[in-house]
Amino acid sequence: MCGIIGYLGPKDVVPLLIEGLKRMEYRGYDSAGVAVYDGKTLNTRRTPGKIAKLEAALAAAPLAGHVGIGHTRWATHGPPTEKNAHPHRSADGTVAVVHNGIIENANALRSALQELGYVFTSDTDTEVIAHLIQELFDGSLEEALLAALSKIEGTYGLAVMCDKDPNKIVAARKGSPLLIGVGVGENFLASDPSAILAHTRQVVYLDDGDIAVIERDSYRVIDAHATPMSRKVDRILWDLAEIERGGFDHFMLKEIFEQPTSVENTMRGRLILDDGTAKLGGLNLSHDELLHIDNVIITACGTSWHSALIGEMMIEELCRIPVEVEYASEFRYKNPIVTDRTLCIVMSQSGETADTLAAMREAKRRGARTLGFVNVVGSTIAREDDGGVYLHAGPEIGVASTKAFTSQVVALALFTLKLARKHDLSVVRGREIAQAMHHLPDQIRTVLESAKAIETIAEEFKDATNFLYLGRGYSFPTALEGALKLKEISYIHAEGYPAAEMKHGPIALIDEEMPVVFVAPHDAVFEKVVSNIQEVRARHGRTIVITSRDEPNLKGLIDYEIRIPETLDMLMPILAAVPLQLLAYYIAVKRGANVDQPRNLAKSVTVE
555 catalytic residue (yes or no): no
Among 349, 406, 416, 478, binds ligand F6R (CB under 6 A): 349
| Length of the chain measured in residues | 608
- Contact between 309 and ligand F6R by CB under 6 A: the answer reads no
- Contact between 401 and ligand F6R by CB under 6 A: the answer reads yes
Query: Which is closer to ligand F6R, CB of 120 or CB of 491?
Result: 491
H helix or E strand, kind and range, residue 43: strand 42-48
Report in angstroms how near the CB of residue 600 gets to ligand F6R at its nearest.
12
Report in angstroms how near the CB of residue 428 gets to ligand F6R at its nearest.
35
d(CA 586, CA 595): 9
- Contact between 605 and ligand F6R by CB under 6 A: the answer reads yes
Span of 129-137, 267-275, 296-304, 466-474 interacting with ligand F6R by CB under 6 A: 296-304
Query: Which is closer to ligand F6R, CB of 433 or CB of 605?
Result: 605
Q: Nearest-CA neighbor of 565 among 476, 443, 479, 441?
A: 443
> Of the residues 50, 418, 487, 603, which is catalytic?
603
Query: Which is closer to ligand F6R, CB of 357 or CB of 502?
Result: 357
Q: Nearest-CA neighbor of 493 among 507, 509, 475?
A: 509
Query: Which is closer to ligand F6R, CB of 163 or CB of 352?
Result: 352
Cβ(154)–Cβ(104) below 8 Å: yes
- Contact between 350 and ligand F6R by CB under 6 A: the answer reads yes
- Contact between 190 and ligand F6R by CB under 6 A: the answer reads no
CA 5 to chain centre: 19
Report in angstroms how near the CB of residue 205 gets to ligand F6R at its nearest.
17
Query: Which is closer to ligand F6R, CB of 532 or CB of 581?
Result: 581
Q: Measured between alpha carbons, how far apart are the two ends of the chain, in Å?
A: 12
- Contact between 490 and ligand F6R by CB under 6 A: the answer reads no
CA 372 to chain centre: 13
Report in angstroms how near the CB of residue 190 gets to ligand F6R at its nearest.
18
Which strands form 387-390's sheet, in the order they lie side by side?
A: 323-327, 295-300, 342-348, 369-374, 387-390
- Contact between 348 and ligand F6R by CB under 6 A: the answer reads yes
Strand pairing report for 466-471 and 493-498: parallel
The residue type found at 194 is: S
Number of H helices, E strands in the chain: 18, 27
Q: Exposure of 274 by Cβ count < 10 A (0-12 exposed, 13-18 middle, 19+ buried)?
A: exposed
Span of 153-161, 209-217, 270-278, 344-352 interacting with ligand F6R by CB under 6 A: 344-352
- Contact between 6 and ligand F6R by CB under 6 A: the answer reads no
Q: How many residues make contact with ligand F6R (CB under 6 A)? A: 15
H helix or E strand, kind and range, residue 486: helix 475-490
301 catalytic residue (yes or no): no
Strand pairing report for 466-471 and 369-374: unpaired
Cβ(354)–Cβ(307) below 8 Å: no
Cβ(386)–Cβ(370) below 8 Å: yes
Span of 252-260, 350-358, 383-391, 458-466 interacting with ligand F6R by CB under 6 A: 350-358
Binding pattern for the stretch 414-453 against ligand F6R, x by CB under 6 A and - elsewhere:
----------------------------------------
Backbone angles phi, psi at 95, to 5 degrees: -115, 140
Among 84, 94, 277, 353, binds ligand F6R (CB under 6 A): 353
Looking at the annotation, which residues are catalytic? 2, 603
Residues in touch with ligand F6R (CB under 6 A): 301-304, 348-350, 353, 356, 400-401, 484, 488, 604-605
